[in-house]
Structure 1
Amino acid sequence: MRRTCLGATRYKLSPSLSQLRQYARAPTKLPIKPPPPPKRRYKLNGDSYSFIRGPEDAMLERSLSKSISPDLQVRCTEFDAQGNVRVNSGQFKKTELCTKHGLLPRDLRKVDTGVHTIIPSILVRSNSILVNLLHIRALVKADLVLVFDVYGSTDSHTQSVFMYDLEGRLQQGSKGMGGLPYEFRALESILISVVTSLGEEMKVLKNMVEVLLAELEQDIHRDKLQSLLVYNKRLNTFLRKATLIRDHLDEFLEEDKDISAMYLTEKLDGVERPEDQHDEAELLLESYLKQTDEIVQVVETLVSDIDNTEGFINLILDAHRNNLMLFELRVTIATLAVGSGTLVAGLYGMNLKNFLEESQYGFFGVTGAAFIFTVIVLGVFRRKLRVMQKLTLNSSKASQRAMRG
């Protein structure tokens, strides 16, 4: 309520109780709800279906967009015909690489650093060799080597050693490497780096597993069993990786056409080589195939040792569990026998008259009878327990014989 006078000051009074009630009854504005997700309609066999688009669809669309439209550039290190580094970690467009080196987009995808793959591959094309082995992805030609920078391995020790070794082998020339052409020197450097990396990782895993197995022979502890599980997973992962490389080299050696097409220098000079004349390349690949196979055999032996140790530990734990169960059964039998003896004492503890109350030898007779009854019950159940143990051993031996037969 407001009172106003002409030429006077205006005064505001506090609201009355009725006005406060009106304010309280006034409707409040609720927050605006977000619009529902849009519906999309799809047709399947002539029928129309509507689906609500959720957050999972948005994540799927983002991942698909990344896979459909990958990066158009790759980072490479280029070596020239004399083995010198022409470009160090330079940016190259994929389209220019395909056009310049006569490749298809699917060929370049095999060595694309943005695509994670564990499947090794050696692809032979008309004037180049594409290699994807472990941490190395390279394009080898008769007078050029392109090494693609794999994410996470640019600054690694293995990658640095490979770069220096490749540069040294290419600079030595054909005469300094026993007459090997340019492409075979590059390929041998790649295979050496791959086999060396596998061998070093195998040695580290072998030392750790052998130390752990030796400790488990002395003491079986929970932490050691957890470490054994971790090492077993690492060994299986490494075994899968090494087996893939060995199998790929073995399969590649069966392709005479691809092996004979690896002589890129002769192709550049216009010399045609028959498909059955590739002894030099075959010996090179077979040498590193044997080394890879040896690594696989060592790792398989380690995995077998771990499996045998796990089986032996399970046998020990089963034996301890059986001993605990037998001890519990013995305690139960002893409790039953003592309870049988106390049953006699309980019967005579009732407030009922009998002829033994006034007997001079009644106490000793009842006590002796209760003791004899306890010994009889204990002996009967212990004998049954022994019979059950013999049946268990005989049944296990019979089942083992049946499995062997």
Structure 2
Amino acid sequence: MRSSKAVVAEEDDLNRAVVAPHQQPGGRRKATGNMRAWLVVSDSGRSYLEEAGKHSIMRRTGLPARDLRVLDPQLSYPSTILGRERAIVINLEHIKAVITATEVLVPNSRDPLVAPFVQDLQARVSSGSYGAPHHVVTESDEGDADGTSKAVLTSQTQSGSPGLALDAYSNGSTKVLPFEFRALEACLESACRLLESETLTLEQEAYPALDELTSKISTLNLERVRQIKSRLVAISGRVQKVRDELEHLLDDDMDMAEMYLTEKLAHQRAGETSSRADIGNVELEMDDDGDEDAKTETESTSGGLGGFKLNIEELEMLLEAYFVQIDGTLNKLSALREYVDDTEDYINIMLDEKQNQLLQMGVMLSTATLVITAGVVVVGIFGMNITIELFNVPTFHQFWEATGGTVGGCLILYILAICWGKKSGLLQ
């Protein structure tokens, strides 16, 4: 028999080998590419940094590698909300997190945009549901010896024990919003707030620029509107993706049921406890001929656990609230897009009007050129080196008569041409 001290020493060595396999005996860490700093926010509101590898997170959360790939900062993935058996994967804009029944893992905690989200998450977790104190007051169903009911105060300790959280969630008549839903709400609110802020900033820049473009068409104003339209398309795509993801969740009851992590964990523990109690009672009472009956009873117990149904109304209301908010943001962007399209149509109309004016001016100049050419023909005829009877006239007044007749004839022809153009609709 080995002594208890030797057994304890071997267990400590094994724990150190499992927890910190990347550490050398000298206390220095090896440079490993798979290690990443994760910010862990527990269900008590306590947060701390922890270095963990991908395989460690997979064992901790029960997620496959393809789900953790969504959180890789080097890869570009659209907005995604994945509900799994033991965790929820969040990838919404700048928010990347893994939510379990007892903690939230944030991989990009050093991002300046994530700091307000972490503060909001800690405040929501610490204050319970919607600002209520982080405890649940419940009345037990059974009275005491005097026949009066007892008030049992259940609160979560700062150590973040999941057992106390599950008891407070499942045993009370006043239901606390589950931890995973408070964390999910913080993620949704942070993402919606960011998109709403970018939309408001874009509106404040877009409307004055569009109004200035309508009053003065210039290269600088056109370039500003082009950049605004590019930003509008990018933001609209991001908002549309978040809206589609929320709509997909609202349309799929199974995906929403997968997100009830605390309730599933509480039901699973209750089922395991009842199964162990039933199996113990059966082993004490059954004889050699009752093996098949005990097996049938155990299978029926596990079958009842598998048929566990969840009421998803609570999560559905939460998702609908943020769906309405993100849909309002999308409507603002749609209104801005319509304003941009209307401005473009107005600019095109103005440009067409300018083009029509230039065409009319061209027609008038062409008509004037034609009339002047007719006068030049007359002058050319008189300038020929031929002898005509007019040259032999001794008086000089006939020269002015010929010149005046030529110019007057050209003016009459020009006026007749312009009148004909306006009458036919070619000129305004």
TM norm structure 1: 0.73
Check 1:252–1:235 CA distance in 2 against 1; reply closer, same or farther (3 A cut): same
Confirm whether residue 164 of structure 1 aligns to residue 123 of structure 2: no
Match of 1:130 in 2: 89
Q: Aligned equivalents of 1:383 and 1:276: distance in 2? A: 84
Q: Aligned equivalents of 1:321 and 1:275: distance in 2? A: 70
Match of 1:120 in 2: 79
Q: Which deviates further from its counterpart, 274-283 or 232-241?
A: 274-283
Confirm whether residue 182 of structure 1 aligns to residue 144 of structure 2: no
Q: What percent identity do the matched residue pairs reach?
A: 30
50, 56, 60: which one aligns with 1:96: 56
Match of 2:388 in 1: 354
Match of 1:311 in 2: 345
Instruction: Kindly indicate whether the alpha-carbon contact (under 8 Å) linking 1:120 and 1:133 is maintained by their aligned counterparts in 2.
Output: yes
Match of 1:79 in 2: 41
Confirm whether residue 260 of structure 1 aligns to residue 257 of structure 2: yes
Confirm whether residue 234 of structure 1 aligns to residue 268 of structure 2: no
TM norm structure 2: 0.69
Q: Aligned equivalents of 2:424 and 2:36: distance in 1? A: 73
1:147-198 deviations in Å (ceiling 9; x for gaps): 1117xxx342x31111100011111135538821111110111111011001
- Higher RCO (CA-CA < 8 Å; seq separation 6+): 2
- Give SS of 2:38's match: strand
Consecutive unaligned residues of structure 2, counting only runs of 5 or more, are: 1-31, 135-174, 269-304
353, 359, 366: which one aligns with 1:325: 359
Task: Report the number of matched residues.
Answer: 316
- Give SS of 1:356's match: helix
Instruction: Kindly indicate whether the alpha-carbon contact (under 8 Å) linking 1:260 and 1:274 is maintained by their aligned counterparts in 2.
Output: no
Q: Aligned equivalents of 2:413 and 2:105: distance in 1? A: 88
Match of 2:22 in 1: none
- Aligned-pair distance for 1:340? 1.0
Q: Aligned equivalents of 2:59 and 2:68: distance in 1? A: 11
Aligned AA for 2:36? V
Confirm whether residue 378 of structure 1 aligns to residue 408 of structure 2: no
Instruction: Kindly indicate whether the alpha-carbon contact (under 8 Å) linking 2:99 and 2:183 is maintained by their aligned counterparts in 1.
Output: yes
274, 277, 300: which one aligns with 2:334: 300
Match of 1:251 in 2: 248
129, 140, 146: which one aligns with 2:99: 140
Q: Aligned equivalents of 1:131 and 1:258: distance in 2? A: 14
- Give SS of 1:269's match: helix
- Aligned-pair distance for 1:261? 2.1
Q: Aligned equivalents of 2:341 and 2:387: distance in 1? A: 71
Q: Aligned equivalents of 1:221 and 1:355: distance in 2? A: 63
- Give SS of 2:267's match: coil
- Give SS of 1:130's match: strand
Q: Aligned equivalents of 2:39 and 2:391: distance in 1? A: 110
Q: Which deviates further from its counterpart, 351-360 or 243-252?
A: 351-360
1:310-369 deviations in Å (ceiling 9; x for gaps): 111121122112212221221222122122112212211223211112334532442243
- Give SS of 1:179's match: coil
- Aligned-pair distance for 1:223? 0.2
Runs of 4+ in 1 over 6 A off after TM superposition: none
Consecutive unaligned residues of structure 1, counting only runs of 5 or more, are: 1-69, 394-405
Confirm whether residue 191 of structure 1 aligns to residue 188 of structure 2: yes
Aligned AA for 1:75? A
Q: Aligned equivalents of 1:134 and 1:186: distance in 2? A: 16
Q: Aligned equivalents of 2:310 and 2:178: distance in 1? A: 19
Aligned AA for 1:341? G
- Give SS of 1:145's match: strand
Aligned AA for 1:354? I
Check 1:374–1:172 CA distance in 2 against 1; reply closer, same or farther (3 A cut): same
Q: Aligned equivalents of 1:261 and 1:192: distance in 2? A: 21
Q: Aligned equivalents of 1:328 and 1:346: distance in 2? A: 26
Instruction: Kindly indicate whether the alpha-carbon contact (under 8 Å) linking 2:41 and 2:104 is maintained by their aligned counterparts in 1.
Output: yes
Computed over aligned residues only, the root mean square deviation of the Cα atoms, in angstroms, reads 2.3
Instruction: Kindly indicate whether the alpha-carbon contact (under 8 Å) linking 2:214 and 2:347 is maintained by their aligned counterparts in 1.
Output: no
- Give SS of 1:110's match: helix
- Aligned-pair distance for 1:380? 4.6
Q: Aligned equivalents of 1:364 and 1:215: distance in 2? A: 57
